[in-house]
Structure 1
Amino acid sequence: MNSAPASTNDSSNSEPDLEQADLETVYQRLETTAAGLTSTEAAQRLEQYGRNELADEEISDLMKFLRYFWGPIPWMIEAAAFLSALIGHWPDFGIIMGLLIYNAASGFWQERKASNALAALKAGMAPKARALRDGKFSLIDAAEVVPGDVIRIKLGEVLPADVRFIGGDYISIDQAALTGESLPVSKKVGDSGYSGSIAKKGEMTAVVIGTGKNTFFGRTASLVATAGTAASHSQKAVGQIGDFLIFLSMVLAFVLFSVEFYRDVIVKDDWHWTELVDILRLILVLLIASIPVAMPTVITVTNALGALALSRKKAIVSRLEAIEELAGVDILCSDKTGTLTKNQLSLGEPILFDTDNPETITLAGALASQRDDDDPIDLAVVAGLKQTDGLDSFRVEKFVPFDPVSKCTETTVVDADGKTWKYTKGAPQVIIELCQLDDETKTRGEQSVLDLAARGMRALGVAESADDGASWKFLGILSLLDPPRDDSKETIRQAQEHGIEVKMITGDDVAIGNEISGQLGIGNHLQAAADLFTKEMDMSHLPEPITACVEKADGFGRVFPEHKYGIVKALQDRGHVVAMTGDGVNDAPALKQADCGVAVSGATDAARAAADLILTEPGLSTIVDAIDEARKIFERIINYVLFRVSMTLDIMFVVVLSTCFFGFSPLTPVMIVFLALLDDVPIMTIAYDNTLLPDKPVRWNMRRLLTISSLMGLLSVIQSFTLLLIGMEWMGNHDWLAWIHLTHDQLQTVIFLQIVAGGHLLLFVMRSRSLFFMPPWPAQPLFLAIVGTQLLAVLMCGLGWFVSPIPWAIIGLVWFYMLVWMVILDLVKLAIYRRVEQSENHRPAWYKRFLKSRLNRK
């Protein structure tokens, strides 16, 4: 065999269509028989065709590592390293390159560790298949199924590949995830079945005709995977921060170059090229100072650790950036069946006709059911009996299962007295017709069915016969409802309290959806999706009236898979961040389009491949828990960015101002590099920090972020520059300061210590939205890392490691100065937050909507 078997028609392929060809041709084409393959043949075919799975786009470890050297911030570090080499400062070059490689290696290692952990979790979810190998059926990983394998499909199992059924009497499979068909489809020998379908009744054997990307949903998923995706909000935000810092550093570098060039070249008559080299050295210091070297690494590490935390909440993250998208979700579109409801029918109050005892009609319905069957209706009716002892007093003589033609089940039983009875249950109109009711009773029965439908309940007619079916007595109507999960109402309440609007998505009728959504507190204003979206509509450019209707609706009934994409796009056009749940191949476009696509428990491989978040447990509570965790992760990242931008501004402006006004740099290049190490490396433990859970969706607000960080950075500049002026006085040998004397190099050490200490104290200020000493307090890893860093910095300054040593008394004065400023910064921070929030709250509604739309549109 030199090519993969074709499982669908292809006009350009002369090979037979294995879905349509007779079984003998299928066997010949696949070089197999009904006896299956040997283990040796299976191994050869696995090597030839590959594993039976949808391969994710793999990025080599080398490419993942090299990504950390690409982007605005890495470019700035690389430019500084190049400039160091250009002017021959090789120690600086070595330290800068070492720092760059350290950041890349650290981020790569953390990302790889998280990826490996998540891969192990996914491996534990791998489905199994029962294949006929070497003459006997054995359980193997579904990924190892190959074309030509003979497999056995039992009730409740998932078809692992595209197949043709070759043995057995009957099987009914649910193809809704693939074709959108709402009812199971009956199959017989010779029929085909699609990978991802679920067996609902019966058992058959089948020969595999297509695996992996050559299956029905494999080809669909491949089309989704080739679609381009926009950059995430996180990537855009980091890029904007980098652009802001680059622009600012370029402006300051130009100012610094102009001042120094005028001072050292134009004014002097005997200038030398060494002056230009010194100017380049100053520019180098500024460039190093302006680089938030660890920002990409800290964000990656925080997201990676967050992904592991989410996995413990039964939510697997397939894309790290999705965590920040999840934190901003304000609308959650959730499936009804199995997510909001139990996907398990239960009996409601029966409507009685020719009996006065509710237990009588329930017992009759149970006798017309199979107790050992997995049919959900039969299980619900039998479970509705208060006592099942009554069933044991009857002996079943014959049972006729439900079929689409008769639309009812029928059983013949013998009671304890030896009398024969017949019971039937099924579609009410069929049972009513069978019982030949008078017009008044018939009208009452039909109206009862309509009333149940209006309440979102299914109806089953039940009748009995004591004369071998010659005449039937209409006992009444059983009502069936898929009840909400026990935790759904409370979970939705919590979601609403956290600023998340939940919209129900269901393929059921609007009446059924309204009943459930009303019980859960979602609302009972559901729209029929089929009436809202027409075939002529371009889902990518929906008219404003349609998007407005989608936004106002509490949910959607009669939803076909293609409607989900339109719902997501409409909500995004209205400026919302949308999470969408799905489980099938046809859900993949909507999952891909959503800001955060969620593949629910039991989803197909195609849905998982398109989703950002994969749930391993049913229910909505898992999603809400994941959103809460994502908000905490996002808060940690925001706290770091606020601190890092403020500190970067502090360092840049202090270097430029002191050089321009006093003619010397307050920091050496080595000090700058150590600042990066001492400030940023311990800050990576912010990924473990404690944080309050925001009660509303959180997202990147660059205007707010840059405003707050710039103001705090300005205050930090004042703080550092004030200490620099004090230090200049200490250098002046004034009589009243005779006990303090500093050299130029020692003043550099003072400023170095102040920025190292001030940076971490500023982090304690910025990580809290209230007073810095109020809970939540710093996590132990973060606190210990900062304490250890400060001890190291004090020892460096006191003992003269890599810097000029300064007296211990000076170190104490600097720390006292920093603690006073910490209180000042904290009070000013509260005032800034209050002012910014007031400003945002007083914006016009149209302007808020405009900003929201601009922020969230992909």
Structure 2
Amino acid sequence: MQQALTLSERVIAVLGARLGLRYFKRDPIPDGLDTLDVPAHGHEAPPGLLDAARTAAPDLLVRLQSRRDGLSDDEAATVRAHVGPNEVEHEKPLPWWQHLFQCYRNPFNLLLTVLATVSFATDDTEGTIIIATMVIISTVLRFVQEARSNKAAEQLKAMVSTTATVLRRDVLDGADPAAMVRGGRLGREIPLSELVPGDIVLLAAGDMIPADVRVLAAKDLFVSQSALTGEALPVEKFSHASDAAGTNPLEYDNLAFMGTNVVSGSACAVVVSTGARTFFGSLAQRVTAQERTLTSFQQGVNRVSWVLIRFMLVMSPLVLVINGVTKHDWLEAALFALSVAVGLTPEMLPMIVTATLAKGAVMLSKKKVIVKRLDAIQNFGAMDVLCTDKTGTLTQDKICLERHTNVWGQLSEDVLEYAYLNSFYQTGLKNLLDVAVLNHGELHQRLDVVNRYRKIDEIPFDFQRRRMSVVVSENGEHHELICKGAVEEVLAVCDRVQHGAQVEPLTPELLTQLRRVTGDLNAEGLRVVAVATRHLPPVQEAYSVADERELVLVGYIAFLDPPKESTAPALKALAAAGVTVKVLTGDNDLVTTKVCREVGLKVSGCVRGDEVEKMTDAELATCVARANVFAKLTPAHKERIVRVLRANGHVVGFMGDGINDAPALRAADIGISVDTAVDIAKEAADLILLEKSLMVLEQGVIEGRRTFANMLKYIKMTASSNFGNVFSVLIASAFLPFLPMLPLQLLTQNLLYDLSQTTIPFDNVDDEQLAAPQRWNPADLSRFMICFGPVSSIFDVLTFLGMWHLFGANAAEHQTLFQSGWFVEGLLSQTLIVHLIRTRRIPFVQSIAGWPLLVMTGMVMLIGIALPMTPLAEYFRMEALPLAYFPMLAALLLGYAVLTQMVKTAFTRRFGWQ
């Protein structure tokens, strides 16, 4: 059980963003459900999961007050009013007062609260007010930004559908007959949250299990429960009542659970539990207290934060001792040390990070990219390798049936008819190939499908066999198994070939000739699907994979999926942005390489899945660094390639929309899917594209880098500025006969400086910072602090000398003038560093900040200059500065800007600029 808890965390983390899918289903109810004939209402209490597993299906429906054809809308509404929506409770937003407390409760605010308490205890009213103001501003700004972010996230979720397929007794007028299921019942799509116990749900390959359900009828139903149990292989589910005596619901093979997904087959099931009453919901309540693993960016931010806090814990006592010994006023020294501690606290860091990520998510939504997890934005900007499928990404995803030929490549109507019957009667996941075949609706009348054929059974598709079969009865005379799938996989179960009216043995010479025909079709960019048949006596009603043998190959259907016009420019843009594109597909290698050439992707090596299978991890690591096209891959191959790329040091994004993509989506640093994907793919993804296009993705990558760059700016500014200020304070404390700045003045300066940075999330970002992937590098930040911090101290010392020698502020009676002069210079130099460090270019000339940052920093600088000259100067114990001070101030600021630019240039040449 403990193993299940640990492995479930990643599912619980994304349950709130889990997305649904609408399927085109025909006759999806497996045989067996029609034999259930139960009354509409019962009087027993709703059963638990174990009781549901052990109860016969008719009795279970009675206890759930349901029927084989489901509930009516009114009945479902009544049940929903009693049990609530199908939502896990931990997903609900916190009440505003709890959210406000969460925003307050961070190490910086708690530390400032302690400092404010100390100030209050020492009768430092002004200091208490200013520190409290800092805490209030930081908390309120974060609260507002997170509330806006949550609201935006809910609006973005509403842009994609979250549905399940259910049977409701209400027969809708004007319904599409193609959606009708046997018995006159209608399969309808409803929001997941509207499911209630007693609902009858229809399941097919690719579906997420929308609640805890008991299987009523199943056909080759395999469910992946790895999210709950850690089992790598799918588990087969059955419809019979279980006689097991175990107490673990996961051990019962007729139950399926919320959060798991259908790998293959189809089923009809009744909902037993919804929302927090599900196995998943009860599990979530027990593990949500466990913290999610931190991303590299979060770990780096925390590391920097605690470095500054430890730095403060060391330097503040040192400042206290130096000032106490030299000034002999220990109370004033304590208040000053307290103010230094406040100045070293990056209290705006949580708000800046939250605001930047929230703004990034909103901006990405305008680029048609929905962010399910805000922290994923950092990985989006750092991504340097993108693995993507071919179909629908490089191509138009509008597949048309181009040819239907016999085994010799000659036009054949018989092959098309067999393919139509197979696609028409299959109930699993209908892909675009099936849709293209079914577009030949004229065959329906010509074959007289309704009167002439009856479906007997189906052998669903899976990614190991790469083929599927249906068995139909023609006029009740015989059974015909019709199989279609990948050429090699179908050939593996064929021993004969249709040649006109004759059937020939499949000899090695003939096999070589057949492969030449399919190879020629592939070379033209056509995707080839083989079609084979087998005539059987009408003596059995159930068929399995073992019956796919001794087939007769009748021919091929070939499809064309033209390349997208936007693919070539998108690939160029991604390459220019430093992102290497690698194609991972289950399709044929010849087709894939031809499409790659047509869209301008230079193929540096094409590797097939069977070759990947034979490689060791070391060999594959070398291979993935060289090759950029991988074909005929299984889901396991895709996942392994992604993991090896990550082990090679890359930040890997994987873009996929199919069931077979889910393992790779989870293995990647950032999983990317589309809103039309199967729901298991969307559940595993971090980002959802509203348009399946590499161009959309490229725009999203740039926006992710912009968001990351703005977050990094604040961290750089805070770290370097605080590091430099400590040196200035220590020097002044050691040599001056008075405090270089009063605690109230230091706190006010820090508050104004923090306000000047609140608009950093809205700043512009230089093009070169968007041109290459950006990765978090804490070591680079340490170098940055050491290189840039002392630069400000040089000009602080020059200010001390100027105030001492030029303006005579060299005694205790003139300390107000000294303190006013350093207050203005310190605030302006700190604010100026915002513009100096935000870019590697020359500020105001080669790179101009965004207007919100320009306005805010300009206002703060004007306030700083004006404060000593206003009536408030007396309150802050300042005095007006002489006019001669301002030329000195201008010269100091100019020198500071020039020296910082020189250091910046040298630093960039040596270490680069992030």
Separation in 1 of the partners of 2:580 and 2:286? Answer: 31
Q: Which residue of 1 aligns with 2:70?
A: 36
Separation in 2 of the partners of 1:501 and 1:136? Answer: 52
For residue 666 of structure 1, the aligned residue among 740, 745, 755 is 740
Q: 1:838 to 1:231 in 2, by over 3 A?
A: closer
Separation in 1 of the partners of 2:822 and 2:81? Answer: 64
Q: Which residue of 2 aligns with 1:17?
A: 53
Q: 1:376 to 1:123 in 2, by over 3 A?
A: closer
Separation in 1 of the partners of 2:891 and 2:111? Answer: 33
Say whether 1:447 aligns with 2:511: no
Q: Deviations over 1:190-241 (max 9, x none)?
A: 9999989799999x98754565578899999999989974322222222222
* SS at structure 2 position matched to 1:245: helix
Q: 1:639 to 1:564 in 2, by over 3 A?
A: same
* SS at structure 2 position matched to 1:333: strand
Separation in 2 of the partners of 1:797 and 1:159? Answer: 68
8 Å Cα contact 2:578/2:772 also seen in 1: yes
Q: Which residue of 1 aligns with 2:869?
A: 798
CA shift for structure 1 position 663: 2.6
Separation in 2 of the partners of 1:372 and 1:98? Answer: 68
TM-score (norm 1): 0.75
Of residues 585-594 and 256-265 in structure 1, the stretch that sits farther from structure 2 once superposed is: 585-594
Of residues 597-606 and 432-441 in structure 1, the stretch that sits farther from structure 2 once superposed is: 432-441
Q: 1:553 to 1:62 in 2, by over 3 A?
A: farther
Q: Which residue of 2 aligns with 1:27?
A: 61
Separation in 2 of the partners of 1:515 and 1:101? Answer: 61
For residue 457 of structure 1, the aligned residue among 527, 530, 541 is 527
Q: Which residue of 1 aligns with 2:131?
A: 96
CA shift for structure 1 position 595: 2.8
CA shift for structure 1 position 660: 1.0
CA shift for structure 1 position 407: 6.5
CA shift for structure 1 position 309: 0.8
Q: Deviations over 1:350-399 (max 9, x none)?
A: 8799899xxx668994898599978744654688x9xx9xx79x966567
8 Å Cα contact 2:340/2:746 also seen in 1: no
TM-score (norm 2): 0.71
CA shift for structure 1 position 307: 1.2
Q: Which residue of 2 aligns with 1:492?
A: 571
8 Å Cα contact 2:208/2:680 also seen in 1: no
Q: 1:768 to 1:556 in 2, by over 3 A?
A: same
For residue 796 of structure 2, the aligned residue among 720, 731, 756 is 720
Of residues 743-752 and 512-521 in structure 1, the stretch that sits farther from structure 2 once superposed is: 512-521
Separation in 2 of the partners of 1:774 and 1:32? Answer: 73
Q: What residue identity is the alignment partner of 1:252?
A: M
Separation in 2 of the partners of 1:484 and 1:834? Answer: 42
Say whether 1:648 aligns with 2:722: yes
Q: What residue identity is the alignment partner of 2:702?
A: D
Separation in 1 of the partners of 2:554 and 2:604? Answer: 33
CA shift for structure 1 position 438: 7.6
Q: What residue identity is the alignment partner of 2:315?
A: L
Q: Which residue of 2 aligns with 1:471?
A: none
Q: 1:226 to 1:684 in 2, by over 3 A?
A: closer
For residue 197 of structure 2, the aligned residue among 147, 154, 159 is 147
Say whether 1:112 aligns with 2:143: no
Q: 1:442 to 1:557 in 2, by over 3 A?
A: closer
Separation in 2 of the partners of 1:210 and 1:619? Answer: 39
Q: What residue identity is the alignment partner of 2:293?
A: A
8 Å Cα contact 1:750/1:814 also seen in 2: no
* SS at structure 1 position matched to 2:890: helix
Of residues 188-197 and 280-289 in structure 1, the stretch that sits farther from structure 2 once superposed is: 188-197
Q: What residue identity is the alignment partner of 1:789?
A: V
Q: Deviations over 1:329-365 (max 9, x none)?
A: 2222334444444444335578799899xxx668994
CA shift for structure 1 position 410: 12
- Please give the residue correspondences for 1:74-93 in structure 2 after superposition, counting only pairs within 5 Å: 74-93=109-128
Say whether 1:835 aligns with 2:904: no
Q: 1:792 to 1:695 in 2, by over 3 A?
A: same
Q: 1:397 to 1:559 in 2, by over 3 A?
A: closer
Separation in 2 of the partners of 1:664 and 1:475? Answer: 99
For residue 820 of structure 1, the aligned residue among 884, 894, 909 is 894
* SS at structure 2 position matched to 1:51: coil
CA shift for structure 1 position 765: 1.6
Q: Which residue of 2 aligns with 1:809?
A: 883
Identical-residue share of aligned pairs (%): 24
Q: Which residue of 2 aligns with 1:296?
A: 350
Separation in 2 of the partners of 1:166 and 1:838? Answer: 63
Separation in 1 of the partners of 2:296 and 2:593? Answer: 35
CA shift for structure 1 position 114: 0.9
CA shift for structure 1 position 495: 2.0
Q: What residue identity is the alignment partner of 2:352?
A: V
Q: Deviations over 1:591-618 (max 9, x none)?
A: 5554323343245666555543233332
Separation in 2 of the partners of 1:214 and 1:619? Answer: 39
Q: Which residue of 2 aligns with 1:263?
A: 326
Separation in 2 of the partners of 1:733 and 1:228? Answer: 55
* SS at structure 1 position matched to 2:53: coil
Q: Deviations over 1:7-28 (max 9, x none)?
A: 7xxxxx3x2427xx75423323
Q: 1:585 to 1:733 in 2, by over 3 A?
A: closer
- Please give the residue correspondences for 1:682-697 in structure 2 after superposition, counting only pairs within 5 Å: 682-693=756-767, 694-697=770-773
Separation in 2 of the partners of 1:303 and 1:139? Answer: 34
8 Å Cα contact 1:461/1:478 also seen in 2: yes
CA shift for structure 1 position 718: 1.0
Separation in 1 of the partners of 2:809 and 2:336? Answer: 28
Q: Which residue of 1 aligns with 2:781?
A: 705
8 Å Cα contact 1:765/1:825 also seen in 2: no
Q: Which residue of 2 aligns with 1:780?
A: 851
Separation in 1 of the partners of 2:225 and 2:529? Answer: 26
- Please give the residue correspondences for 1:353-752 in structure 2 after superposition, counting only pairs within 5 Å: 365=416, 369=420, 376-377=432-433, 379-380=435-436, 432-433=498-499, 435-436=501-502, 444-449=513-518, 451-452=520-521, 457-459=527-529, 478-508=557-587, 516=595, 521=601, 523=603, 525=605, 527=607, 532=612, 544=618, 547-554=621-628, 556-557=630-631, 559-561=633-635, 566-581=640-655, 591-592=665-666, 594-603=668-677, 608=682, 610-693=684-767, 694-732=770-808, 743-752=814-823
* SS at structure 1 position matched to 2:693: coil
Of residues 577-586 and 493-502 in structure 1, the stretch that sits farther from structure 2 once superposed is: 577-586
Q: What residue identity is the alignment partner of 2:801?
A: L
Separation in 2 of the partners of 1:442 and 1:529? Answer: 21
* SS at structure 1 position matched to 2:759: helix
Separation in 1 of the partners of 2:732 and 2:45? Answer: 72
8 Å Cα contact 1:488/1:620 also seen in 2: yes
Separation in 1 of the partners of 2:264 and 2:618? Answer: 42
Q: 1:221 to 1:317 in 2, by over 3 A?
A: farther
Separation in 1 of the partners of 2:520 and 2:237? Answer: 31
Q: What residue identity is the alignment partner of 1:627?
A: V
